[in-house]
A and B are shown apart, each in its own frame.
Chain A
Amino acid sequence: MCGIIGCVGRGDRTVETLLSGLSTLEYRGYDSAGIALANGSIDVVKKQGELDALEQVVDTTTLSGSVGIGHTRWSTHGPPSDRNAHPHTDTEGNVAVVHNGIIENYQELRDELEREGVVFTSDTDSEVVPHLMARSLHEGASPRDAFRDAISQLEGSYAIAAVVAGADTIFAVRQDSPLVLGIDDDAYYLASDVPAFLEYTRDVVYLEDGQFAELRADGWTVFDHEGTETTPTVDTVEWSAEQTGKSGYDHFMLKEINEQPTALRQCLSGRVDEVSGGVTVDELDDLDTPSAVQFVACGTSYHAALYATTLLHEVGIPANAYLASEYATTHPPLPNDTLVVGITQSGETADTLSALRNAESRGAETLALTNVVGSSAARECDHALYLRAGPEIGVAATKTFSSQLVGVNLLVERLRPSGSPTGELRSLIAGLRDLPGHVQQVLDDSTALELVDELFGAEAFFFIGRGLHYPVALEGALKFKEITYEHAEGFAAGELKHGPLALVTENTPVFAIVTGDDEEARKTLGNIKEVEARDAPVVAVTDGKAEVERYADYVLEIPETHERTSPVLANVQLQLVAYHMAARLGRSIDKPRNLAKSVTVE
């Protein structure tokens, strides 16, 4: 999981363009970074550490050339170090390569090359590519043929860009890892993700798997896997470069938490109509109600999937949520007429894509619930429902989870078998339309910051919830552990007494989510008393209807609303708790250790 970038036609500003592009890709990995510029020869600078470390070295080095590639790395093969940083070169330094993905047969290729006397300087799988290219070049191949020849020997997933001394061209290819071209009037770009060149152009070409691209100062060309020139469509992206700035906030995460009212408005706009009481999703016009639904997702998105299954059960459609990384290897049975829904913010999550491909190969209809238009998931699935949450840069998903929960509601209402009571739908639509204002209320009035002072120094943090609040308990714990590095676990409230209660002490605060005053709330109240009896500090996240305040040591209030939308509000409170605790602990909130935003390796 890494980020790559390339540009031609930027003249003296090539280095600056590569570095600013890499800074927007840092969320994809940040343990080392490097750039290479091609002129008569190849100049490479690379450095372990965050991008700042590279920027400092670049300042003291003279680099020339207007054809350049760059890379920001997150280790999969070999520890972070200068020598494992990309770009990688061949022995003579005539070829430089950046790679995102995993080359599965690299050991065989490496053994073969080493037998031929090639000396490897890194532990990475990627280094085989420049050596393979060099071998072909020695045999007299053109740079283009040398690149194609090297790629043809690779197995695995990759987005690769290469430059060759003396050729003013970037050679690139995509296979199961994201790669986008940016088309400007007099300069061309490639990157793992659009924001890397959004400052310069909004016209983009999403490469398909197996496609090759060449960028030259005088133009760009895309070839299919057989080498035939193709004419891809140029799309225009709607995000502006400024949208990815921090706009006065200390962290992207806090900015994105605060953006949730806007993100939810965008997700709902034009899709719910309170006057006529209907839900319309233009993208899903040709979607029929299936007999069953399977969700595949990872991490935070998996929690949205769990929430979704509960909603589908309410409308009478059998549904299951699977961890995408388990799905492809366990092959759950796929009855006829099953819709498989992949939930992935980036649309590039490798595990989710692979689960979707597995389902597709077994004949299922597929749908992507994603935030990124034109992402792999959106293009490969039969249907796509877009979240419209805007770019999310913080590694810990916040606004996109809220948008996923809303998106799931839209999907479920779209799939709801006909003849459902309209009164129920109207009250849901009212709840959804109230949601942006309610989230704003939570943001304005939250006491999470004060609560963090009270709970600071606790040994572990537990989160419990029941029904639709169970996924929120899991998500609350995940967010907390991701950015605070403290021990946090989420449980179904009723499960506590079947084991986890053994962990509960006076030093382990328990966050309990309770809304409404129905049977479910009363049962959770019973679970709260269980932990209260073990002297654990109880934090109730509640709308106040169940009078949970009596048993709680602290209360995080949320407005009273529809039962389906209250989990969104409870989650916002837990996001704020995690954020403020991480800030208090001085953690690297936007880039937590060992994690990357979109996990594009399996």
Chain B
Amino acid sequence: MTISSAVVLAAGEGTRLRPLTRHRPKPMLPAANRPILEYVLDALVDAGIDDLHIVVGYKRDRVQNHFGASYRGQAITYHHQTKQLGSGHALLQAEAGLDSDFLVVNGDQIVHQEMVRAVIEAHTVKDVATLAIVESDQASSYGAVRMDGDRVTEIVEKPIDDTYRLLNAGVYAFAPSFFSEIEQTPRQHGELALTDTLGTLIHEDQQCVRGVRATGVWWDATYPWDLLSVARALVTRGLVSEPETDDGVYVSPSASVHDDATLEAPVVVGPDCAVGPQAVVGPYTALGRNVTINAGAVVDGSTIDADSRVGQNATVRDCVTGESVRIGAGTVVSGGVADVRVGTDVHEHCRLGGVVADRSEIGGGSTIAPGTLVGSNVTVEAGTVLSRNVDDDVEVVN
């Protein structure tokens, strides 16, 4: 059927990506050198949606400020979820803005227009809900589903059982009646998830939720190192917004790259960037807006976010930075595979040279051991060796 409205859920922080989410929600973290949410909105606009609704909550200024009142000419209405009480509760915030069947998309997962179109085409007036379903061996880490023909017969969040092969891609079409279904769903620990309502619906009537098997781009960054693989996938496929100036090399016209600098494909250099002489940037590297790579620095396999500076002769490999980060001259982020501690869990064998979150300053000549997470607003004295995670707002002296 024809659907012209879509609700994007962008209110949650994405705590597993801390410390990068200190000042912005996960949808605003960089996928290559653009916010994840831009890819989501592109998919919707490309699929013909002209009425965009975004549910905002955690650090909502960042979303509203980045997109303003419209995206690619399509008006955006913002709905404010004051407390993050689950995706179902988030969707309820947008109820007043919708009167016919509509789409719902997660704002923190990269999808492409094919998947959005597939859901729009499959959804009929008889369906209360239609879900995009992706086949993946990681189904049990997400919302796993089982299907019978084109009907979803079971939906379960992160099942312990690993026999599931299908996952809910977070692209839905709903009939307006779905709002009353959400309201009738009992809250679990005060929260209301969309999948709880879907689960209840399926339980009551195995015929009312349609699933549509979809292919195409579906990427999720759960942990910081996933941002690097997402960036790698995007630059390799050229899914970036800067023009291609050489094979696999994408450089904004407002960037300034010294004649003696080397850009190794695939690489994307954002607007207003400055790359100094003898610097080597790439491959699999994305520079956000207004990034400065000074003379002789080497940046490889990394995502360097807006306004950051990499000092002379620094080496930065497999690294994710936040905004306005300073990596001092001669500092080494040597890169490679490591065990990464996130909260109380240890994740083994992750390719992550390190994370340096917003506005942290790593003094010159320092070394960051692989897998180290450096918080936001951290100051590290020159010549320090960092091999353990550093909390936000800490001053490290050696």
Contacts and interface: CB of A to CB of B under 8 A. Distances in A.
Tell me if chain B binds chain A: yes
Interface of A: 240, 242-249, 255, 258-259, 261-262, 265, 268-270, 273-276, 430, 433-434, 436-438, 440-441, 443-444, 559
Size bin of chain B's contact surface: 20 to 34
B70 A240 contact: yes
B239 to A, nearest CB: 23
Nearest to B277: A275
A273 B290 CA distance: 11
B307 A444 contact: no
A213 to B, nearest CB: 29
Interface string B65-107: 1011110010110101000000000000000000000000000
**Contact residues of A: prevailing secondary structure:** helix
B65 A258 contact: yes
Contacts of A274: 256, 274, 292
Nearest to B252: A269
A275 B274 contact: yes
B312 to A, nearest CB: 13
B73 A240 contact: yes
Contact of A245 (B68, B274, B276): B68
A529 B324 CA distance: 35
Nearest to B279: A275
Contacts of A242: 68-70, 73, 75
B64 interface: yes
Contacts of B23: 444
Contacts of B359: 437, 441, 559
A275 B274 CA distance: 6
B68 A436 contact: no
A268 B275 contact: no
Contact of A247 (B64, B275, B306): B64
Nearest to B259: A275
Contacts of B76: 247
B56 interface: yes
Contact of B275 (A275, A436, A441, A443): A275
A444 B378 CA distance: 16
A162 to B, nearest CB: 34
Interface in B301-322: 306-307
A258 B60 CA distance: 11
B69 A245 contact: yes
A553 to B, nearest CB: 22
A247 B68 contact: yes
A261 B324 CA distance: 12
Given A242-B70, A265-B290, A433-B292, A248 B324 contact: no
14 contacts: A243-B70, A247-B64, A248-B56, A259-B68, A261-B65, A262-B65, A268-B272, A275-B276, A430-B292, A437-B290, A437-B323, A437-B359, A440-B307, A441-B324
B290 A275 contact: no
B307 A248 contact: no
Contacts of A243: 68-70
Contacts of A433: 272, 274, 290, 292, 307
A249 B324 contact: no
B357 to A, nearest CB: 12
A393 to B, nearest CB: 12
A273 B323 CA distance: 20
Contacts of B16: none
B289 A265 contact: yes
A434 B274 CA distance: 12
B61 interface: yes
B69 A246 contact: yes
Contact of A275 (B68, B70, B258, B307): B258
Contacts of A244: 69
Nearest to A258: B65
A247 B77 CA distance: 7
Among A242, A246, A270, A276, the one with the most B-chain Cβ atoms within 10 Å of its Cβ is A242
B256 A247 contact: no
B98 to A, nearest CB: 17
Nearest to A444: B23
Nearest to A273: B256
A559 B324 CA distance: 11
A259 B65 contact: yes
B68 A434 contact: no
B324 A438 contact: yes
A201 to B, nearest CB: 14
Contacts of B292: 274, 430, 433
B146 to A, nearest CB: 39
Contacts of B271: 265, 269
The 6 A-B pairs at the shortest CB distance, nearest first, are namely A437-B307, A245-B69, A248-B78, A242-B70, A437-B324, A247-B69
A260 to B, nearest CB: 9
Contacts of B78: 247-248
B272 A265 contact: yes
Contact of B64 (A248, A437, A440): A248
A270 B292 CA distance: 14
Interface string B38-76: 000000000000000000100011001101111001011
Interface string B333-377: 000000000000000000000000001000000000000000000
Given A242-B75, A262-B65, 12 more contacts: A240-B70, A243-B70, A245-B75, A246-B69, A265-B290, A269-B271, A269-B272, A275-B274, A433-B292, A436-B307, A437-B306, A438-B324
B73 A258 contact: no
Contact of B80 (A246, A248, A265, A275): A248
Contacts of B75: 242, 245
A245 B78 CA distance: 12
A138 B313 CA distance: 85
Contacts of A246: 69
A559 B323 CA distance: 14
Nearest to A246: B69
Nearest to B323: A437
Interface in B218-237: none
Residue among B65, B80, B359 with the highest chain A CB neighbour number at 10 A: B65
B27 to A, nearest CB: 14
Interface in B364-398: none
B177 interface: no
A457 B271 CA distance: 46
Contacts of A247: 64-65, 67-69, 76, 78
Contact of A248 (B60, B258, B275): B60
B120 to A, nearest CB: 24
B254 interface: yes
Given A243-B68, A275-B275, A438-B324, A269 B61 contact: no
Contacts of A268: 272
Contacts of B324: 434, 437-438, 440-441
A50 B166 CA distance: 57
A436 B359 CA distance: 12
B274 A249 contact: no
Nearest to B79: A248
A269 B254 contact: yes
Most A CB contacts (10 A, CB to CB) among B56, B277, B289 go to B289
Nearest to B67: A247
A354 B76 CA distance: 41
Nearest to A249: B64
Contacts of A443: 61
A95 to B, nearest CB: 39
Nearest to B56: A248
A229 B367 CA distance: 73
A258 B61 contact: yes
B69 A434 contact: no
Contacts of A258: 61, 64-65
B69 A436 contact: no
Tell me which of A248, A255, A258 has the highest count of chain B C-beta atoms within 10 A of its own C-beta.
A248
Interface in B143-196: none
Contacts of B275: 275
B50 to A, nearest CB: 12
Contacts of A249: 64
Nearest to A254: B61
A242 B271 CA distance: 23
